[in-house]
Each structure stands twice: as C-alpha cells, then as structure tokens.
Amino acid sequence: MNGLESRRGSTRAILWTALTVLVVLYAFPFVYMLFTSFKTPIETNAIPPTILPSTWTIQNYITALTTQGVPQSFVNSIQTAVISTVVSLVLAVPAAYAVTRYRTRLGRVFILLALVMRMVPAIVVGAPLIAFFHSLGLSDTSFALALAQTTISLPLSIWLLASFFEAVPDELEESARVDGCSRLGSLWRIVIPITRGGLAVAAIFAFLASWNDFIFALLLTSVRAVTTPLQIANFQSQFGLDWGTMTSLAVLYSVPVIVLAIVLQRHIVAGLTLGAVKG
C-alpha cells in the first residue's frame, strides 16, 4: 500500500514537473517581453542577452504613453475591434445558421468558399480595398478598417458558429416551430441562447483578428485611424530599434485582451466543449 502511494506520489511529481516546464516554456515569451519592458536602452539589446533587468525602469512606459498618437491608437484599436466583431457576428450568425439548417449543396460550396477566404493573404485583399475605400471617402477611418478586417474574421466566425449550431439538436427547433415559432424566432430564442458559449468563442476570435491585425492597418490608415500594432512597429526604424518602448507598448496592448479572455473564460470553455457529448 505504501509502495502504491509512493508510486502515485512519484507519478504526480513527474506530471507536475512536466506541467511546470510546459507552463514556463509557454509563458516565457510574454514574461521575457515583460522583463524587457523594464530594462534600460543599453540592456534591451545586450550581448549576451539578460533575462532580468539589472536596473528596473519605467521610462519605457512613460515614453510609450507620451509618444504622439499612442493613446489615440488604443482608442482606435478598441473601436475598430468592436465594430469588426459586431459586424462579423451579425453576418456570421444567419450565414452559419442557414448553412447548418438547410444543408443545401450551395451551402456547402458557400462554407468552403468561406474557408478559401481565410487562405488568401491579407495583403491581396487589402491592396484593392485602398482604392475602394478611397472612392467611398472612407480612407483612414476605423469603420473602413473594421470592414476590411471583417473579411478575415467573418469566414472564421461562420465556420466556428456552423460547428456550434450543428451541435444543437433539430428536435428542439422543431418543438419550437410546432409551438408557432418561425425559423428566425427559433434561431433567436432556441439556438442562440444554447450556443452563447460558441458565440463568445467566435466573438473573441473575431476581436483578436482585428486587435492583432497589422497589414490592413498598414494599408488603410494614415493618421486618424492608426491602431496600436502599427504604432508598435513604428518604434523600429532603419536608424534604431527601441525594444524597451516596443515591449512596454506590447505589454499594455495585451492587457485588454487578457482581461477579455478572463471575463469570457467561462463562456469560452463552455463553447469549446459544446457538442462534445452530443448523442
């Protein structure tokens, strides 16, 4: 009995060690970025590199936040990501519902085409959009940028939501229709409440696609709608690489996403396990 407990203890210790190593490896890039953001300019590019700062400084954060355009870029990023997420979901919900419920050949082709859209490099879509938005007078606006980013997040949202909607038994909707509910009504009252975890997953992926977008921001913004990823990149030039400021800005930029992920964590886990025990 003691031997068995000892073996169990050893196994648990090995598992914990392996888990700790994995967590450290996984978190290392972020932790290293965090430490770098507190280093002096000389130390950020030290050869050999250091992990912990020898002198801690918050100067990089002050520089980042007082650089012209940086605070506004945060506002622009939030605005753009929210618009893009809302537009994505508003369009993806009916599309995914139609594909999963009507199950036509056209629907299958449509969902395949949506997947193909994900395979097209963003710059291929972005270049023609320059002229398109210019002709509409929408150049350098968060709305135009959000629409452009929707071309990337919408296909993913449709695919995600289609898989979640598929997991909702037809019988539930049929019961609702027997009770006089329309198709749209059953989507609104039955399917969406059941799959809200899936919606949260789709929302956070759409939000992240916009939040981290660089190419569309590069091509479609100039002054007013510039987002933070572009501002971060601007600290690297031919004449120098300001790692300290870049990393401090990156740390600040990751905070809203971390908060969002924590807030939506319960829904995300629920969404990811949706349909896992179907049947």
Partner 1 sequence: MLRTKLTGSRRVRLPRMKAATAAAVATASLLALSACTPGASTNSSAPVKSITVLVEAGGHAELQPIADLYAKDTGVKVNFVELPYNGLFNRVNSELSTGSVSFDVAALDAIWLPTFAAGLEPMNDLYTPAVTADNFPSVVQEAKVGANFVGMPAFTNSEILYYRTDLFNNSANQAAFKAKYGYDLKPPTTWQQYADVAAFFTKDGMYGAPLPGAEETQYLAALSQAGEKEMVLNSAGTKSTLGDAASLKALDYYTSLAKYAPAGAAAVDWNAAQNLYNQGKSAMMLFWAHAYRQIPTSSPVYGKTGVAPMIAGPAGIAGVPGPYYLSIPRQGAHLSASTAFVKFAYDHNALSADTSLGLVARISALKQYEDKPGYAAYKPMVTTLSAPATITRPANANWQNIVNNALIPMIQKSLQPGADNAALLKAAAAQIDQIVQQ
- Chain residues in the site for partner 1 (CB under 8 A): 40-42, 45-47, 83, 123, 126-128, 130-131, 133-144, 175-176, 179-181, 185, 189, 218-219, 222-224, 230, 233-241
Sequence-distant (6+) residues with CB within 8 A of 154 are 87, 88, 91, 92, 114, 117, 206
- 15 versus 123: smaller Cβ distance to partner 1: 123
Q: Let me know: does 32 contact 51? Beta carbons within 8 Å.
A: yes
Distance (Å, whole) CA 175 – CA 180: 9
Q: What is the nearest approach in angstroms of partner 1 to the Cβ of residue 134?
A: 4
Q: What type of residue sits at position 21?
A: V
Q: Let me know: does 152 contact 92? Beta carbons within 8 Å.
A: no
- 23 versus 131: smaller Cβ distance to partner 1: 131
- 160 versus 173: smaller Cβ distance to partner 1: 173
Q: What is the nearest approach in angstroms of partner 1 to the Cβ of residue 63?
A: 13
- 96 versus 217: smaller Cβ distance to partner 1: 217
CB neighbour burial string for 121-143, b if at least 16 within 10 angstroms, e if fewer: ebeebbeebeeebeeeebbebbe
Q: What is the nearest approach in angstroms of partner 1 to the Cβ of residue 260?
A: 22
Q: What is the nearest approach in angstroms of partner 1 to the Cβ of residue 263?
A: 24
- 111 versus 122: smaller Cβ distance to partner 1: 122
Q: What is the nearest approach in angstroms of partner 1 to the Cβ of residue 219?
A: 6
Q: What type of residue sits at position 200?
A: A
Q: What is the nearest approach in angstroms of partner 1 to the Cβ of residue 262?
A: 29
Q: Is the C-alpha dihedral spanning 262, 263, 266, 269 positive or negative?
A: negative
- 110 versus 189: smaller Cβ distance to partner 1: 189
Q: Let me know: does 211 contact 202? Beta carbons within 8 Å.
A: no
